[in-house]
Amino acid sequence: MQGTGLLPSKRAIGDEPTAVLHVFSATQIEPSLIVALSGQTPAMVSKKILVTGATGFIGSYLVRYLLQQGYTDIRCTRQPNSSLSLLKGVADKVEWVNADLLNLMELEDAMQGVQQVYHCAAVVSFHEKDNRQMLSINAEGTANIVNLSLDFGIEKLVHVSSIAAIGRKPNDPNIDEHTPWKNDEWNSPYGISKHKAEMEVWRGVAEGLNAAIVNPANVLGSGFWQGRTSTGQVFHQIWKGLRFQPLGTTGFVDVRDVVRFMVLLMESGISGQRYILSAENLPFKKVFDEIAAVVGVKPPSVPVTPFIRETAWRVAWLASKLTGKPAFITKQTARSSSRTFIYDNQKSLAAFPFQYTPISQTIRETGAQFLRSTKNGLEPEVLAF
């Protein structure tokens, strides 16, 4: 069952909710967005932390949140050509090391003196040309992180996985942390790579590693609006006039909630567990309609029937081959967006005193930042905690 652990929505009295995700004031009192008192001690915030994938979507929000919470000894990995746009204003407050997940010597240097590891780095792609690299980096790279964490005696590892790494049940849309993985045609190469990455973490746990896993649903929030595999791209596409509306239902979560939970999980005594992070299960139609309303355009209105779905990904594939640009929709994302999956968040709500941000609030805040970015060349934006 889906929980109702939502923070009150931030809107003025009298406002009505304006009635991916890679597919196609009357009161001045603002409810706190802090999900729980984490109980950190000076010893906790002085621990040396390693964040892999710190320049990415989740990783950059994690770094910002750690700094906000008073952590001062943070080391971050990056590639030489990685953009620091999502860490503007705070990039100089952490230590940077160039480290490739497949380069053991670089990773060994990055691990020196580290006590806690947040493994956020991964390739997220739904394009066929990236499959081999994605499997290598996501699975083999995680194996390297796990092995070095064991070798260096790391206190704890928190690994960022995905709902794509969780199994599906035939004729049953309900999914929780115990739903077994099945090898079938619905699994995307990305999902397979993240499943294999999880297997490396569980191997590490069996060998004595203190580790836990989070499985975020479709993560919403400001970031890059174009050119990246992220939900920000959906705001851009709808603003540009996206016509097609997927018929499926899935889970959604605010990126800030993901990183808050990760820090709570790291500082807890929990080990050997995985947690689905999903605020709400919503139809794509509702999410797309709300985004359209916030950015001031007509919502997508053409239902994606099976015929349209199968035609669309083939046309997108052909266009990608002709132009060399990534296809906005692929076979896996098209088919996945037509199905209904209900992700159970009860385990995450029971782990700590924790509340999720309402998705309508996330959409409003992200949409407002997107509109501002349209006036400055679609510069990346970051939501405030």
Nearest to 362 by CA among 216, 215, 219, 220: 220
pLDDT-based confidence at residue 130 (cuts at 50, 70, 90): confident
pLDDT at 93: 97
Q: In which domain, by residue range, is 148 found?
A: 42-373
Preceding amide of 107 cis, omega within 30: no
CB neighbourhood size of 260 (10 A): 27
Four-point Cα dihedral 311, 313, 317, 318, nearest 10 = 20
State pLDDT tens for residues 305-325: 777 777 766 777 777 778 777
Which are the contacts of 13, defined by CB distance < 8 A and separation ≥ 6?
25, 26, 27
Evaluate whether residue 7 is within a structural domain: no
Evaluate whether residue 10 is within a structural domain: no
pLDDT-based confidence at residue 92 (cuts at 50, 70, 90): very high
Nearest to 365 by CA among 349, 384, 351, 347: 384
Q: Stretch 140-157: mean pLDDT, rounded?
A: 97
pLDDT at 125: 77
Which residue type sits at 355?
Q
Lowest mean pLDDT among 157-171, 197-211, 250-264, 311-325: 311-325
Evaluate whether residue 59 is within a structural domain: yes
The number of folded domains in the chain is 1
Lowest mean pLDDT among 87-101, 144-158, 168-182, 354-368: 168-182
Select the more confidently predicted residue: 180 or 304.
180
Do residues 158 and 266 lie in contact, with contact meaning Cβ atoms separated by under 8 Å? Answer: yes
Q: What are the structure tokens assigned to 90, written together?
A: 């705070």
State pLDDT tens for residues 66-89: 999 999 999 999 988 899 999 999
Which parts of the chain fold into alpha helices (H)?
Answer: 42-45, 57-68, 104-111, 131-135, 141-152, 189-206, 232-239, 255-267, 284-295, 306-323, 331-336, 346-351, 359-373
Where do we find the tokens 């931030």? Answer: 10
**DSSP tag of 358:** P
State pLDDT tens for residues 176-229: 999 999 888 778 888 999 999 999 999 999 999 999 999 999 999 999 998 766
The CATH code of the domain that includes 61 is 3.40.50.720
Evaluate whether residue 299 is within a structural domain: yes
State pLDDT tens for residues 102-117: 999 999 999 999 999 9
Select the more confidently predicted residue: 237 or 35.
237
Nearest to 119 by CA among 36, 187, 62: 62
Q: Stretch 286-290: mean pLDDT, rounded?
A: 96
Q: How far apart are CA 221 and CA 366, in angstroms?
A: 6
Q: What are the structure tokens assigned to 363, written together?
A: 């959409």
Q: Indicate the pairing of strand 280-283 with strand 211-216.
A: unpaired
Secondary structure of 167-199 in HEC code, one letter for each residue: CCECCECEECCCCCCCCCCCCCHHHHHHHHHHH
Q: Stretch 331-358: mean pLDDT, rounded?
A: 88
Dihedral pair phi/psi, residue 352, rounded to 5°: -145, 170
High-pLDDT (> 90) share of the chain, %: 66
Evaluate whether residue 9 is within a structural domain: no
Evaluate whether residue 36 is within a structural domain: no
Evaluate whether residue 17 is within a structural domain: no
Where do we find the tokens 């010597």? Answer: 105
pLDDT at 87: 96
**DSSP tag of 299:** P
DSSP-based three-state secondary structure for 115: coil
Evaluate whether residue 127 is within a structural domain: yes
What mean pLDDT, rounded, does the chain reach? 86
